[in-house]
Structure 1
Amino acid sequence: MTILFRPELVYTGDRFEGGKQIVVADDGIIQGIEDWSIADSGEVAGATIENLPGRAMLPGMIDVHSHSFQRTIRGSVESRLKAGPNFWSWRDAMYRAANRFSPEELYTIACMAFMEMALAGITTVGEFHYVHRDRDGSPYENPNEIALQVIRAANDVGIRIALLRVAYVRAGFNKPADAGQRRFIEPTSEEFLTNTDALRSALRESGESAWIGVAPHSIRAVPIDYLREITAWARSERLPVHMHVAEQPAENDACMEEYGTTPFALLDREGILEEKFTAIHGIHLSAGEIAALGRSGAIIGACPTTERNLGDGILPADALMRAGVRIAFGSDSLTQIDPLENARELEYNLRLKQLERAVLDNVDGTALPQRLFACSTVNGAASLGANAGTLAPGMPADFFSVDFHDPSIAGSGPEELLASIVFGLAKTAIAEVAVNGRFLVQGGRHQRQEAVIRDYAALMRRQAGVYD
């Protein structure tokens, strides 16, 4: 049955418009965005009407970089005693979490992470998935056992997922094997490609709810011959490719030691930088590398809430945007799941560094709120190869709505509403979230919220040795 969604305002790409209804077909695809008036508010033959008074509707947001299992270490690593002074010592605490949980427990954790994303207005996630093996490092009978559990979690919560299957080979150049990485390793490109193609086959009936991408973890974790082979395969299959690049200065130093050049220069030389490539983080860049990124069409997957938590550094977003580089957002370690907080941080970090305001305003000819919201939507969709990110005929009806009466945006008119949302929205204002025109969240609560929280809390109590 056709559904007519009637919010007070609809975000149509660069502004809010009133008096519009979204016409959604049985298959969840938007048929049209039409004018309507209160005089037409009676029953419509063959249609269900969803009146959303006091609401503004926006396209669902995209999270391009998630490690769902890292939700379990939130709050437990915020001291030097527990996680040391830097990224590399924090990583050891993260490895302990990666080696702790069974596939079924990782499903429970992913449900919690993805539900929290839905509550934040996220309707599509890119899961950078590298926990492949059993806790002793041996393969499961189905090498994609955990990947399928994570995908099942996304399906049960109701959001779309790009499972970005990670290639992980080694601890680094001239480094001994690290026992903390034993669940990640697939030692040959043949094994990785066989398992990745098997996962793609298993998802063939999923349509636009779940699909795969290829994710060489990093230059330090994947040697160049392996990297060439798997990225060539991904390119031939038109799959998105994501990779951690230049998150820490030590990565650049190690790449220089092994290859005599920096990670971005190496990827550019190898022809790996292109429109379907997303460089996650991409913080420590030279001017020449920024120019190369602009020429290539590659995307930067920025994760400011994690990058500030780990002390990674500040993304040179102004220089990247001037070079024509698109930026998308990810929540990464899930320290905080809030794409709009990522948007604020992208801008505010530059304000603190440059002692100026509105640094990214009109950098590429677009007003600041519109540009930052595009990073949360259309740029994320491009990064994941998702048919999402806009409200338009022919697109899936993936959206979130905000409540005008929430204190964080109360009093904002249509002209300043997007700026109020980007720079001031509290998550309490997110009222409804839908995927394919079907509500996941209503009245600020997810339809499975009580059960998901109960199961996750019980799991974490068991892990802590606390029993009911």
Structure 2
Amino acid sequence: MRRLILDHALLPGGWASNVGIDVESGAIAAVHPEASPDGRERIAGITLPGLPNLHSHTFQRGMAGLAETRGPEGDSFWTWRQVMYRFLGSLTPDDVEAVAAFAMMEMLEGGFTALAEFHYLHHDAQGRPFGDIAELSGRIAAAAQETGMGLTLLPVFYAQGGFGGAAPTEGQRRFINDVESYARLLDGARREVAGLDDAVVGVAPHSLRAVLPESLGEVVAMAGEGPVHIHIAEQVKEVEDCLAWSGQRPVAWLLDHAPVDRRWCLIHATHLDPQEVKGIAASGAVAGLCPITEANLGDGIFEGVDHRAAGGRFGVGSDSNIEISAPGELKQFEYSQRLKHRARNVLAEREGQSTGRSLYETALTGGAQALGRRIGAIAEGHRADFVVLDADHPDLAAVSGDRWLDAYVFVAGRAAIDTVFVAGKPVVRNGRHVSRDTIRARYVQAMARILV
């Protein structure tokens, strides 16, 4: 057992000082507020529960910055997607692992301690399955093992190129499975993560445009009680195409035709009408928001105020990994709502409430639900995942309590992070991952070959 004492910590009931934590087998066995320091290892600073990252495609970290050149026409998600298809054409399994490890390392340094990896790169560059159909899932698991990242692996089911059974394009050939091969892939993914500590495997039908209705039901059934994640209503064109195909908007169709409940995470859900906002909230599903990526792609702005007013749940993810920062995602979410509504402190729910704390605690709860793991709280039975802020950082040194969170989210950002623990083990010290040099060197070597 590891016995810690935290100078200051955010517990489910609020801030506490001199918090004793007993860690056993990676989980919190007991919490002792106002504990004696005798026989305990001191963790100096301000300790927060680690934030879950509920949506990422780690391989896209390698293409960050490659799609920032203006094209001959209006650039959009759909033109960005063509850049992505060209980039992934040359990725080998070694490259996938190197890029994933680098992205996970940056996530840990940036305040995320658990990841839901929406993994849709399955086959070789010609679209042929590897001898082990779960080869690339195994590379994601290996990256999580190396970095210490807590993992929920979501193998993606992708079967068609557009609504109504359109044939896949050449750029999509590395993603494609039928239901039978997907079942084998899922079994393989479960084998690959079996050696990881506390890993979870869920399912991820990619989107309504990539999955036939009859296949959707079969894939969801494979999840059992595990997480179900899906891209939904990210783009206006997607909404228009879904209306042309079905006569319904994407979220409305999904709520009417699938058993959407607490297991589900609806990624982006950018374009909603009022009934869809209420429907998501009533279902108990989590809205999976990726504000930095959504801004980078020009997706639009989520109906955050109405969703919160309806009692909806949300978490945040880093998606395309154009910039990796847990506080940055929360700040971008709040700022998008300020721009939309021309107001300030929009997502705090009541007068006198700290916006930083409101965002952080809500994203903890929603993220933990979406990942299907006991994380996101400094409480007995939860994984011992902590982010420790530097109490001497200039933006934190003269404040306390909720002001620490406001300064972390809106001012200092990831620069305030000193130490990160996953399952009670330090994986980041002095703001740097303990294996940064090795992971960085392998990433640089891979990128030098890919981008030649």
**TM over 0.5: same fold?**
yes
Match of 1:356 in 2: 343
Shift of 1:155: 1.0
Shift of 1:36: 4.5
For residues 31 and 251 of structure 2, the distance between their equivalents in structure 1, rounded to whole angstroms, comes to 42
For residues 64 and 461 of structure 1, the distance between their equivalents in structure 2, rounded to whole angstroms, comes to 29
Contact 1:133–1:139 (8 Å) recurs in 2: yes
What stretches of structure 1 move > 4 A for 4+ residues in a row? 363-367
User: Is residue 399 of structure 1 aligned with residue 398 of structure 2?
Assistant: no
Shift of 1:14: 5.0
Contact 1:432–1:444 (8 Å) recurs in 2: yes
Shift of 1:82: 9.6
Residue 32 of structure 1 aligns with an amino acid whose one-letter code is: A
For residues 386 and 23 of structure 1, the distance between their equivalents in structure 2, rounded to whole angstroms, comes to 19
Match of 1:73 in 2: 63
Match of 2:319 in 1: 332
What aligned pairs does 1:269-280 form with structure 2 within 5 A after superposition?
269-280=256-267
- Higher mean alpha-carbon deviation, 5-14 vs 333-342, is at 5-14
- Higher mean alpha-carbon deviation, 150-159 vs 423-432, is at 423-432
For residues 352 and 309 of structure 2, the distance between their equivalents in structure 1, rounded to whole angstroms, comes to 9
User: Is residue 105 of structure 1 aligned with residue 95 of structure 2?
Assistant: yes
Match of 1:435 in 2: 422
Residue 181 of structure 1 aligns with an amino acid whose one-letter code is: Q
Match of 1:123 in 2: 113
Shift of 1:81: 3.7
For residues 370 and 350 of structure 2, the distance between their equivalents in structure 1, rounded to whole angstroms, comes to 21
For residues 440 and 347 of structure 2, the distance between their equivalents in structure 1, rounded to whole angstroms, comes to 38
Residue 30 of structure 1 aligns with an amino acid whose one-letter code is: I
Contact 1:409–1:424 (8 Å) recurs in 2: no
User: Is residue 34 of structure 1 aligned with residue 32 of structure 2?
Assistant: yes
Match of 1:214 in 2: 203
Change in Cα spacing, 1:292 to 1:426, as seen in structure 2 (3 Å) is closer
Residue 227 of structure 1 aligns with an amino acid whose one-letter code is: L
Contact 1:321–1:363 (8 Å) recurs in 2: no
CA-to-aligned-CA distance 1:21-54 (integer Å, 9 cap, x gap): 22223x12212222456xx545x3xxxx32233x
What aligned pairs does 1:24-423 form with structure 2 within 5 A after superposition?
24-25=23-24, 27-36=25-34, 40-42=36-38, 44=39, 49-53=40-44, 55-81=45-71, 85-173=75-163, 175-186=166-177, 188-208=178-198, 210-234=199-223, 237-362=224-349, 367-423=354-410
For residues 230 and 181 of structure 2, the distance between their equivalents in structure 1, rounded to whole angstroms, comes to 19
User: What secondary structure does 1:65 align onto?
Assistant: strand
User: What secondary structure does 1:382 align onto?
Assistant: helix
User: What secondary structure does 1:170 align onto?
Assistant: coil
Change in Cα spacing, 1:173 to 1:395, as seen in structure 2 (3 Å) is closer
Match of 2:15 in 1: 16
Match of 2:3 in 1: 4
CA-to-aligned-CA distance 1:201-221 (integer Å, 9 cap, x gap): 44345351x221100110111
Residue 204 of structure 2 aligns with an amino acid whose one-letter code is: A
User: What secondary structure does 1:19 align onto?
Assistant: strand
CA-to-aligned-CA distance 1:237-282 (integer Å, 9 cap, x gap): 1111000000001111111111111111111111332111110000
User: What secondary structure does 2:222 align onto?
Assistant: helix
Residue 383 of structure 1 aligns with an amino acid whose one-letter code is: A
Residue 370 of structure 1 aligns with an amino acid whose one-letter code is: R
- Higher mean alpha-carbon deviation, 365-374 vs 315-324, is at 365-374
Shift of 1:199: 2.1
User: What secondary structure does 1:377 align onto?
Assistant: helix
For residues 83 and 332 of structure 1, the distance between their equivalents in structure 2, rounded to whole angstroms, comes to 25
Change in Cα spacing, 1:151 to 1:262, as seen in structure 2 (3 Å) is same
For residues 171 and 77 of structure 2, the distance between their equivalents in structure 1, rounded to whole angstroms, comes to 15
Change in Cα spacing, 1:293 to 1:35, as seen in structure 2 (3 Å) is closer
Change in Cα spacing, 1:201 to 1:453, as seen in structure 2 (3 Å) is closer
CA-to-aligned-CA distance 1:80-132 (integer Å, 9 cap, x gap): 14996111000000111222111111100001000000101211000000001
Residue 155 of structure 2 aligns with an amino acid whose one-letter code is: R
Aligned residue pairs, count: 451
For residues 85 and 194 of structure 2, the distance between their equivalents in structure 1, rounded to whole angstroms, comes to 32
**Structure 1 residue runs without a partner (length 5+):** none
For residues 109 and 79 of structure 1, the distance between their equivalents in structure 2, rounded to whole angstroms, comes to 23
Shift of 1:358: 1.1
For residues 295 and 263 of structure 2, the distance between their equivalents in structure 1, rounded to whole angstroms, comes to 27
For residues 205 and 77 of structure 1, the distance between their equivalents in structure 2, rounded to whole angstroms, comes to 37
